[in-house]
């Protein structure tokens, strides 16, 4: 049993790592400051690889939207100028790292990825615009942070917060695991799901820079958190431990 648990944990970790981290040494991962300096230069390509819906809601000014999940993604990337510095971002860094790896493997000379995506960009108060070019007030997207805290404090049970997004593959894998644990322990814990796309205020305030992220609260106070994929037994053990 111990061997199986260890093996399962290993594959969870491997899946998450390969899903959300660049595997190409030629791709340079930049923080917000360096990414901002880079895209301010002339003759660069700024690519947003999120969905058109996400792009329309908010994006970095000057970006071109090439959806990594679209059937024509490879064709659109290949149509870009491979000799120009290419800067790529998404919401939290996972999709852009995959896109950056693809571009580097296709012969792009300079490829840069924004670490932790547009979430980190907004957390440092960098400007974003809507689909029509109007500036978006990033401090007021979705529920307020007070609403978030009040929900945590109001529950007599433990609250398991699941930070996720509809495009996030690991989030989809984790969802049924979390639901199963919560259903089995419904007398001890309730689930509170936060879509980071729709609740940028909370995600930014909580400094959520990568997903999936689980945070367990007891009486409004954080008692445990887990980034990435985690197995059912671990979640259930933590729920039982802090429900005492």
Burial zone of 9 (CB within 10 Å; 0-12 exposed, 13-18 middle, 19+ buried): middle
Query: Please, are residues 189 and 236 in contact by the beta-carbon 8 Å criterion?
Result: no
Q: Which residues have a catalytic role annotated?
A: 168, 171
Residue 132 tokens read as 């029509």
Q: What single-letter DSSP state applies at residue 22?
A: -
In order of their start, the domains of the chain are 2-138 (3.40.250.10), 145-242 (3.40.30.10)
Nearest CA-CA partner of 87 in 58, 121, 56: 121
pTM: 0.63
76 torsion bin: left (phi>0), alpha (psi -120 to 50), beta (else): alpha
Sequential pLDDT tens for the chain (244 residues): 433 443 444 344 434 333 444 455 689 999 999 999 999 999 999 999 999 998 998 999 999 999 999 999 999 999 999 999 999 999 888 899 999 999 999 999 999 999 989 888 887 889 999 988 888 776 556 788 889 999 999 999 999 999 998 888 899 999 999 999 999 999 999 999 999 888 877 887 888 878 999 999 999 999 999 999 999 999 999 999 999 8
């Amino acid at each position: 049993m111990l061997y199986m648990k260890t093996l399962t944990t290993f594959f969870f970790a491997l899946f998450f790592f390969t899903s959300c981290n660049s595997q190409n040494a030629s791709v340079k991962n930049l923080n917000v400051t360096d990414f901002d300096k880079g895209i301010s230069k002339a003759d660069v390509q700024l690519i947003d690889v999120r969905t058109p819906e996400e792009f329309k809601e908010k994006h970095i000014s000057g970006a071109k939207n090439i959806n990594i999940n679209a059937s024509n993604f490879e064709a659109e990337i290949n149509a870009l100028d491979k000799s120009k510095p290419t800067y790529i971002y998404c919401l939290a860094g996972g999709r852009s790292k995959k896109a950056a790896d693809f571009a580097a493997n296709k012969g792009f000379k300079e490829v840069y990825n924004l670490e932790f995506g547009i979430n980190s960009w907004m957390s440092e108060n960098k400007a974003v615009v809507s689909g029509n070019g109007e500036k978006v007030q990033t401090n007021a997207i979705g529920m307020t942070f007070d609403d978030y805290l009040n929900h945590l404090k109001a529950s007599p049970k433990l609250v398991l917060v699941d930070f996720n997004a509809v495009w996030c593959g690991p989030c989809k894998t984790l969802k049924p695991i979390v639901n199963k644990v919560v259903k089995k322990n419904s007398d001890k814990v309730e689930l509170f799901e936060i879509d980071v796309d729709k609740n940028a205020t909370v995600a930014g305030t909580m400094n959520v820079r990568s997903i999936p992220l689980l945070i367990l609260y007891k009486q409004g106070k954080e008692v445990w958190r887990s980034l990435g994929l985690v197995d059912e037994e671990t979640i259930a053990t933590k729920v039982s431990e802090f429900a005492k």
